[in-house]
């Protein structure tokens, strides 16, 4: 089969769309497609999305529909991705990415700042794809009153510019792989992740699994940062300080993917972290970093005070020793 081409979807694509959706749903036991009973809009899907102010695309290969996607406005500056399906034989070649690229570009050009979507809890492969694209779990599970007894996860991400948000437990779990890739990329680039050897992805994922447990226990706040829809930064606020220091919290693992540096993401992450600390009732923050790191100048510029230095305490990416600096900041 030749490569698929993308074009605007039409109402006369109805049979093709129904066939694609039916084939994808048939991969999951208990997921039933009842077009006329539950999804009559599939008979004229282009008209349906045009009435919402949205858009629809079809992917075609050798005269056959093999994929689809739609996007439409919801409220404010939020748009919703929907109907993303790719036939099994077309997967793994980048078609789903091309479809999502088209929908995201359309939404961005329309002034959208945030995207949301819903995905059946049984569609595990789709969840991994969305998470790879920077979407994280958002809100409670949605219950549909349909013959498939569907439960759906909500996903969301900021689409434009630099954006930061606190991750709850569900969002943290869904961001695990993306955060692990950031950590690995930063270690490879010699970023400020002191005391860590070169990491395999699974070791990094295990680290963020532990972080998710700490978030669930209320002893850690995790923040993530996006640049133009890509999840490319993170920082942690450790609230597990000694009982005699309830006013203090420790900043850990400020990480920005090398390709997103000098875009203002690190500063945005730290500003959001300071607000999260205030919300948690903490008035004193502490952190440590390697002397000479890019982060050092950022901390100083944001009003952090140097508290001390330990010569040769940290390691550079090449294994050589370097000084560790300790900083503090009082929040007002």
Provide the pLDDT confidence category of residue 70 given band limits of 50, 70 and 90.
very high
Residues 71, 168, single domain; the answer is no
Residues 166, 264, single domain; the answer is yes
> Tokens for 123?
């569609």
Residues 254, 143, single domain; the answer is no
Provide DSSP, 98-149.
HHHHHHHHHHHHTT--EEEEEEETT-HHHHHHHHHTT-EE-SSPEEP-STT-
Residues 26, 64, single domain; the answer is yes
Domains: count for the chain: 2
Output the pLDDT for position 2: 59
**pLDDT for residue 164 is more than 90:** yes
Residues 173, 146, single domain; the answer is no
**pLDDT for residue 195 is more than 70:** no
Question: Which domain CATH number covers 25?
Answer: 3.40.630.30
DSSP 19: H
Residues 108, 235, single domain; the answer is no
pLDDT tens column, 284-314: 999 999 888 889 999 999 999 999 999 987 7
Q: What is the CB neighbour count within 10 angstroms for residue 230?
A: 15
Last residue of some domain: 157, 189, 221?
157
pLDDT tens column, 234-243: 999 999 988 8
Distance CA 174, CA 154 (A): 11
Q: What is the mean pLDDT of the chain?
A: 94
Look at residues 131, 115, 132, 3 and name the one whose alpha carbon lies nearest to residue 69: 115
Last residue of some domain: 123, 157, 191?
157
Q: Which domain holds residue 292?
A: 162-330
Dihedral (Cα; 239, 240, 246, 249), 10-degree rounding: -40
Provide the pLDDT confidence category of residue 190 given band limits of 50, 70 and 90.
low
Q: What mean pLDDT comes out for the span 122-151? A: 97
Residues 286, 166, single domain; the answer is yes
Q: What mean pLDDT comes out for the span 53-63? A: 97
Beta bridge partners of 6: 59
Residues 193, 71, single domain; the answer is no
Residues 28, 171, single domain; the answer is no
pLDDT tens column, 15-25: 999 999 999 99
Q: What's the pTM?
A: 0.92
Residues 77, 184, single domain; the answer is no
């Amino acid at each position: 089969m030749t490569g698929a081409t993308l074009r605007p979807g039409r109402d006369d694509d109805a049979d093709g769309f129904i066939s694609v959706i039916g084939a994808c749903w048939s991969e999951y036991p208990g997921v039933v497609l009842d077009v006329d009973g539950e999804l009559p809009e599939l008979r004229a899907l282009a008209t349906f999305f045009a009435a919402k102010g949205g858009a629809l695309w079809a992917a075609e290969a050798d005269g056959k529909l093999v994929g689809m996607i739609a996007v439409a406005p919801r409220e404010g500056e939020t748009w919703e991705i929907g109907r993303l399906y790719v036939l099994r034989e077309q997967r793994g070649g980048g078609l789903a990415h091309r479809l999502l690229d088209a929908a995201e570009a359309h939404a961005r050009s329309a002034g959208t700042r945030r995207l949301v979507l819903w995905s059946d809890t049984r569609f595990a492969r789709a969840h991994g794809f969305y998470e790879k694209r920077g979407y994280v779990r958002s809100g409670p599970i949605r219950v549909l009153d349909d013959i498939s007894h569907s439960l759906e996860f909500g996903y969301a991400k900021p689409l434009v510019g630099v954006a930061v948000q606190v991750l709850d437990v569900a969002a943290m779990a869904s961001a695990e792989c993306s955060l692990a890739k950031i950590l690995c990329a930063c270690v490879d680039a010699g970023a400020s992740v002191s005391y860590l050897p070169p990491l395999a992805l699974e070791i990094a994922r295990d680290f963020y699994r532990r972080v998710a447990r700490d978030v669930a226990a209320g002893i850690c706040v995790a923040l993530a940062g996006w640049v133009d829809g890509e999840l490319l930064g993170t920082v942690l606020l450790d609230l597990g300080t000694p009982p005699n220091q309830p006013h203090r919290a420790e900043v850990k693992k400020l990480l920005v993917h090398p390709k997103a540096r000098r875009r203002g993401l690190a500063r945005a992450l730290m500003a959001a972290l300071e607000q999260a600390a205030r919300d948690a009732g903490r008035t004193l923050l502490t952190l440590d970093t390697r002397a000479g790191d890019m982060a050092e100048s950022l901390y100083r510029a944001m009003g952090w005070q140097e508290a001390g230095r330990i010569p040769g305490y940290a390691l550079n990416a090449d294994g050589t020793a370097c000084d560790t600096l300790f900083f503090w900041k009082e929040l007002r």
